[in-house]
Structure 1
Amino acid sequence: MKILIVSLWEISDNSIGGTERYVVDLAESLARKGILVDVLMLSGKYREKLGVKYFPLEKGLDVNEYEIKNRFFSDFNNKKLSDFAEFIEGSFDANDYDLIHLNSLLFLHLYRSSRRVFTLHENPFEFDHNWGRGSLKKIKQIIAADKLVHNFIVPSSHYASKYNDLFRFSTTAIPHSIDVSRLRCAKSKEDILRKYNLKNILTFVVPSRMEIFQKGQDLAAKALGMIKDDIPDFQVVFSGLDNQYIKNVEIIQNICLSNKIKASFLNFDNISEAYKIADVIILPSKSESFGYSALESLSLGKRTVLSDIPTFEELASYTPLAIISRQNPEDFSKNILRAFKVTKDEEMLWLKNFDQDEWADKYITYYEKLLQR
Structure 2
Amino acid sequence: MKVCLHTTHQITQNYIGGTERFLIKIAKELKLLGWDTFIVCSSTTPVTYVEEIKVLGKIPKEYCKNVVKYHKFNYDFLKREVLGNHVHPYETALKLSSYVSQQLEGIEADLYHFNSFLSASYLDSIRFKNYIITNHENDAEMDFFWGKDFFYSFSQLVKERILKLQNAKGLYVPSKYYSHFFSNMFSLPVQAIKLGVLLNDFPSNFTKNLSRREQYFGNNDGFVILLPSRLNVLQKGHDIALEACQILKNTEMKFRLIITGLGKSSEEEIILFRKKIKDYNVEDIVILSSYGDILNAYRECDVVISPERYCSYGLSISESLSLGIETVLSDIPTYREIASNYKHAHFFENGNPKALSEQLLLLWNKHKSDNRQDMIRFRINNDIRDCAKLYSSIYDKILINEN
The TM-score, its normalising length taken from structure 1, stands at 0.90
Show the counterpart of 2:271: 247
Paired residues of 2:246 and 2:280 also in contact (CA < 8 A): yes
Aligned with 1:100 (options 107, 112, 116): 112
Identical amino acids, percent of aligned pairs: 26
Paired residues of 2:346 and 2:359 also in contact (CA < 8 A): yes
Show the counterpart of 2:81: 71
Deviations 1:200-235 (A, max 9, x none): 532111111221111111111212222334334221
Show the counterpart of 1:110: 123
Paired residues of 1:217 and 1:252 also in contact (CA < 8 A): no
* Structure 1: distance between partners of 2:230 and 2:50: 25
- Call closer, same or farther: CA 1:94–1:141 in 2, change over 3 Å: farther
- Specify every segment of 5 or more residues in structure 2 that has no aligned partner in the other structure, as ranges: 68-72
Bigger mean CA offset, 176-185 vs 29-38: 176-185
Deviation at 1:55, TM superposition (A): 0.3
Question: Which letter does structure 2 place at the counterpart of 1:344?
Answer: D
Give SS of 1:237's match: strand
Give SS of 1:107's match: coil
Paired residues of 1:85 and 1:110 also in contact (CA < 8 A): yes
Show the counterpart of 2:161: 145
The CA RMSD over aligned residues, in Å, is 2.5
- Call closer, same or farther: CA 1:3–1:253 in 2, change over 3 Å: same
**In the alignment, is residue 189 of structure 1 matched against residue 201 of structure 2?**
no
Pairs within 5 Å for 1:46-57: 46-49=47-50, 52-57=53-58
* Structure 1: distance between partners of 2:3 and 2:124: 13
**In the alignment, is residue 283 of structure 1 matched against residue 298 of structure 2?**
no
Show the counterpart of 2:353: 329
* Structure 2: distance between partners of 1:361 and 1:198: 44
Question: Which letter does structure 2 place at the counterpart of 1:223?
Answer: A
* Structure 2: distance between partners of 1:186 and 1:279: 13
- Call closer, same or farther: CA 1:339–1:157 in 2, change over 3 Å: farther
Bigger mean CA offset, 73-82 vs 210-219: 73-82
Deviation at 1:255, TM superposition (A): 4.3
Paired residues of 2:253 and 2:361 also in contact (CA < 8 A): no
How many residue pairs get matched?
370
Pairs within 5 Å for 1:275-314: 275-314=298-337
Give SS of 1:5's match: strand
* Structure 1: distance between partners of 2:286 and 2:174: 33
Question: Which letter does structure 2 place at the counterpart of 1:39?
Answer: I
* Structure 2: distance between partners of 1:325 and 1:54: 39
* Structure 2: distance between partners of 1:84 and 1:357: 31
The TM-score, its normalising length taken from structure 2, stands at 0.84
Deviation at 1:309, TM superposition (A): 0.6
Deviations 1:76-119 (A, max 9, x none): 23234323333332343578322111111222223435521111
Deviation at 1:10, TM superposition (A): 1.4
**In the alignment, is residue 8 of structure 1 matched against residue 12 of structure 2?**
no
Paired residues of 1:304 and 1:339 also in contact (CA < 8 A): no
Show the counterpart of 1:173: 192
Show the counterpart of 1:367: 395
Give SS of 1:137's match: helix
- Specify every segment of 5 or more residues in structure 1 that has no aligned partner in the other structure, as ranges: none
- Call closer, same or farther: CA 1:16–1:49 in 2, change over 3 Å: closer
- Call closer, same or farther: CA 1:270–1:248 in 2, change over 3 Å: farther
